[in-house]
Structure 1
């Protein structure tokens, strides 16, 4: 272990020597040798390499010689789910805190949490496609763009309000999900990812270049916020109202996704994810399962897009880039594919931490990348992995 750490330290010293040790002063034509930086890099890389190898060895010993990766220790979240005396008071406390949040914190904090709730809905929608059905979608934000532009254009041309546009945006996004699902029925893996990535870019480029339809790169502004029985709301009241609206939408999404998991179509998605050939051999309609997954996942993205347009009151194609799809996919993978609590936790962490770590704004992406690498090495199943259901047949003894 020490030998490997020493070799790693020497390798880091070799790579960083020209950047951290040698400094050329072009004004005075001098070369400065910063040997202290070399010492810091050597000691730091040696200690981190030792820690890395220790964690890998501990993970391997925890798995055991014949196990595939499950830890023998019972995780905290599983204990909470099993113990009602802990689960119900914790849920009640979280509910009270969520309802009282706009009264305890300023509007800026409420707006940030509303954005986090919006990404929870997007993450749970993508979790249907990726986590349950196992269909990798790299253009998921395009469905949110469909919902957002549906609301904006319907309001501009026909004067429709938020509540009338919400179901229309969801239906249009579901239609686009079906249109995407048909061409990719025979694709899987990397090929499916490339096609969905191309679909997302096509939607964005169409919105950016079709000026007569979508107003081009300048976007659409002055989109009305959600209304409340015709009552005029100021900015603070509208922010709080949108926040409570997102809480209701999150609860509805959690309820529907949880029921879908336990339904017949949910079990078909899981079978499709595990083994597509075996799933088809058992009589599952593979075509219907895939189309349903794309349509339902797109539906929630469409509703989230309508809320996004109403919250920001301005949209343009730059709001729906591939980076947004990658962020939503990171939420699902980091939290745990197929796990509702994992997606919620992943969305809260990835959306809230960057806002509260602005003191490290120069290193935020570095910390984000390092966190993702560590998660994929030491906990590839996510922070809160989905509970794999097992069925046991017990024959009644005579």
Structure 2
């Protein structure tokens, strides 16, 4: 008698146990193909309801009835069914077509890349063209988009550059980064005399910037000091708690910050008086745009120099493997504190510019949602890449504003979330990732040990790099 037959038989008074073969059997609805079909149909129904009629408070099911009986439901289901069918039954043909297209463009793309690296004049010409475009950009858009460029895109780019130091370079998850932004804004309001608590001397906004940066540096050290032994989720929770402490202090310490009533005397605008030259920034957003452009250029210049310095290489070693970095002589305590402090410094600049441009701040302007948004922009653009995080912030800030005329305000972040989900599935390295990040993901997909996503990157610190890996190109 076989072992399987013996297992199938139940003892007297006990229920019959299923055999191992029956337990391993996969039902048709459990197969990946049909599970993907169910997911696509469910997504189609959700998208049809999101883009269809909006519900009203008096009749919650009227919108559902309209959406399920409208032609839009059938259209969305047909679209997602077509995507599923192409993926399931034409996958080999589409993969071959994509491979053929890549092979056809590999030669010209490789020559262009070699020419870009070899000829410095081409790089300088491209940089000059980019700078010229940024200078002329406010003149090419309407006043509304000028406001968006200054109040949202410019501010978020400054914040994303600073957060990229903490997350992209040092590998520490920070969910409370907007707390430093709030500290910078309140520093501007305090030293210009806008808060209920008056300073010993009122300063010009340009003179406030070094003080705001120094305050944010100290706050970064105060946050980093008790969190040096924490990593991952635990570090994220501590930074989130730091944000809540700063937010509640700004809200409840009404004698100093004004609480939810904000700055009773307002915040002064930027002004410049050199005797022979006098200028004051007013309500026009264009001068603030150029001011942000100058600040961003200076920060990017210093951060690019910092990335390839000894400090930047130490951050990379800590991000890849903190234990190995400490074993090779990297002072992890010092460099983690530096990451928190230097990353927070850009928030001081952004806070001063934001408070001066708005002329009014209160505690409700610095909610934790802003920290989540900045983190999303950094990941979407490409962690560790300054051009990437700038592009990510610009694209994801532009998208909800572009949808303002066609999508209900309550639904705009649904589209933003959908874009993030698709991006993380098909391009997890981001829009413009760094070379190191691209290489790590390629090695991880190929199953190479020590790809840098959980250990050191082979060849990054002198160790032998892996030999030919099928399907993986050299960076």
- Offset of 1:111 from its aligned partner? 2.7
- 2:161 matched residue in structure 1: 124
**1:175 aligns with one of 212, 218, 236:** 218
- 2:432 matched residue in structure 1: 384
- Give the secondary structure class of the aligned counterpart of 2:272: coil
- Indicate how the Cα distance of structure 1 residues 11 and 174 shifts in structure 2: closer, same or farther if over 3 A, else same: closer
- Offset of 1:40 from its aligned partner? 3.4
TM-score of the superposition, structure 1-length normalised? 0.83
- Give the secondary structure class of the aligned counterpart of 1:228: strand
- Give the secondary structure class of the aligned counterpart of 2:270: coil
- 2:298 matched residue in structure 1: 252
TM-score of the superposition, structure 2-length normalised? 0.71
Q: Deviations over 1:285-325 (max 9, x none)?
A: 01001000001011111111111111111111111111111
- Indicate how the Cα distance of structure 1 residues 197 and 232 shifts in structure 2: closer, same or farther if over 3 A, else same: same
- Offset of 1:59 from its aligned partner? 11
Q: How does 1:134-283 map to 2 (within 5 A)?
A: 134-156=171-193, 157=198, 158-220=201-263, 222-229=266-273, 231=278, 233=280, 235=282, 239-283=285-329
**1:112 aligns with one of 136, 143, 148:** 148
Q: Could you tell which deviates more after superposition, 341-350 or 75-84?
A: 75-84
- Indicate how the Cα distance of structure 1 residues 129 and 16 shifts in structure 2: closer, same or farther if over 3 A, else same: closer
- Indicate how the Cα distance of structure 1 residues 85 and 51 shifts in structure 2: closer, same or farther if over 3 A, else same: farther
- Offset of 1:153 from its aligned partner? 1.2
What's the C-alpha RMSD, in Å, of the aligned pairs?
Answer: 3.7
CA distance in 1, matches of 2:78, 2:242: 48
Asked if the contact 1:136–1:192 (Cα under 8 Å) also holds between the matched residues in 2, the reply is yes
Asked if the contact 1:80–1:87 (Cα under 8 Å) also holds between the matched residues in 2, the reply is no
Q: How does 1:242-391 map to 2 (within 5 A)?
A: 242-362=288-408, 363-388=411-436
Is residue 39 of structure 1 aligned with residue 74 of structure 2? yes
Asked if the contact 1:56–1:378 (Cα under 8 Å) also holds between the matched residues in 2, the reply is no
CA distance in 1, matches of 2:272, 2:386: 30
Q: Deviations over 1:209-230 (max 9, x none)?
A: 0100101111115211111227
- 1:68 matched residue in structure 2: none
- Indicate how the Cα distance of structure 1 residues 123 and 61 shifts in structure 2: closer, same or farther if over 3 A, else same: farther
CA distance in 2, matches of 1:367, 1:76: 38
Asked if the contact 1:9–1:43 (Cα under 8 Å) also holds between the matched residues in 2, the reply is no
CA distance in 2, matches of 1:368, 1:57: 31
Task: Give unpaired runs (5+ residues) of structure 1.
Answer: 65-71, 394-398
- Give the secondary structure class of the aligned counterpart of 1:174: helix
Task: Give unpaired runs (5+ residues) of structure 2.
Answer: 1-31, 100-105, 440-458, 463-475
- Offset of 1:41 from its aligned partner? 4.5
**1:49 aligns with one of 84, 88, 102:** 84
Q: Could you tell which deviates more after superposition, 205-214 or 84-93?
A: 84-93
